[in-house]
Amino acid sequence: MFKDELKIWVKAGDGGNGCLSFRREKFVPKGGPDGGDGGDGGDVVLVGDSSLNTFNKLRYRQHYKAKRGEHGKGKNMHGKNGEDCIIKVPLGTIVKIEETGEIIGEILEDGQRLVVQKGGKGGRGNARFATSTNRAPRHFEEGERVEPIRLKLELKLIADVSIVGFPNAGKSTLISKISNAKPKVADYKFTTLHPNLGIVEYDGFKSFVIADVPGLIEGASEGKGLGTRFLKHIERTRVLLHLIDGATPEKTYLEDFMAIRKEIEKFNPDILEKRYVMAVNKADSICCKDNLKEIKDFADTYGVPFFVISAVTGEGLDDLVNTLGRVVEEVKENQSEKMLKEKRNAKIDFLDEV
């Protein structure tokens, strides 16, 4: 079962109460106030964990609560702060407040921490209120109370490459051949009901993450087939691999490719700006050589890498993997240069303002 949406209740810890106390010691008259402060309540924190790909491990628990702060004590002893509640989530998690839809933040890196609710502040003890005119204050503060909130967690997988195509194009077979993923493979439509992630090694020691997105059909952007449920997972992808079924006589290969692009455009036009690679699968049973020439000419015209492969026999897979790795490297390099440029421009703007 692939769980990519989750609703949970979270509650940070309440703050501990301050203490009302006066010093009582032999031979020390009028010892004065010595009530300590209450401890702060624990926070609720989401932490990115690269070993997780879904919310499956979280689906059996709906309520998360951090520890409250301890109350203050006499002799100026402050209460202990409450322990944080740590929730590990997969990378690509978007956190929203369910009631308002407000986005609190996103988890994009391994070990990244996101405080979704702060713990309550501890109250001050009466020792804090002593003054020259009020040497025996009987006033103290209660700890801050925190109300629980309901969060909605949405997952958008982070992968270097996503395989997109119509059902039965051979996406699951391909990812099982070139990576360590072991998806279900069968000869019927919609065999894949959830994305599969795998690590692909190339060029000796390099690697990239690849995702097999469940098959799309025409009208997917309007909810047909598996609908838009999995289209969102290609939004964070660096490179798209358009896989076309070479054994289908229903439409030309170029029509197959354009139909998928059209559904992606309806869902989110920005995805079409991503780099992509084209591949016709099932080279051992190509049904129409003319169709093959048409789509190859299209790829050559626009400078798109194009391959004819067979996921079953392994034909063309080495060249495809090495090209995907090279394209991923280029995209990462361009993204790094863009980020450095943006930081440099932001620094210049700041200095100009100063």
Rounded average pLDDT over 169-174: 87
pLDDT, one tens digit per residue, over 195-233 is: 777 888 888 778 888 888 775 655 544 544 444 566 777
Confidence of residue 125 (pLDDT cuts 50, 70, 90): very high
Mean pLDDT over each residue of the chain, to the nearest integer: 84
Q: Check pLDDT > 50 for residue 22.
A: yes
pLDDT, one tens digit per residue, over 284-311 is: 777 667 788 889 999 999 999 999 999 9
Written as one string, the DSSP assignment of 178-234 is HSS------SSTT---S-EEEEEEETTTEEEEEEEPPPP-TTGGGT-TTGGGTGGGG
pLDDT, one tens digit per residue, over 244-289 is: 988 876 678 898 899 889 888 888 889 899 999 999 998 877 766 7
Q: Check pLDDT > 60 for residue 131.
A: yes
Each as own residue / partner, the long-range contacts of residues 20-28 (CB below 8 Å, 24 or more positions apart, any chain) are: 20/125, 20/126, 20/138, 20/139, 20/140, 21/73, 21/74, 21/75, 21/125, 21/126, 21/127, 22/136, 23/74, 23/75
Most confident of 164-173, 218-227, 237-246: 237-246
Q: What is the pLDDT of residue 330?
A: 92
Beta carbons of 312 and 246 less than 8 angstroms apart? no
First to last CA, the chain: 55
Domains of the chain, each with CATH number or no CATH: 1-155 (2.70.210.12), 161-338 (3.40.50.300)
Q: What is the pLDDT of residue 220?
A: 45
Q: Does residue 2 or residue 96 have the better pLDDT?
A: 96
Q: What is the pLDDT of residue 123?
A: 96
Percent of the chain predicted with pLDDT > 70: 85
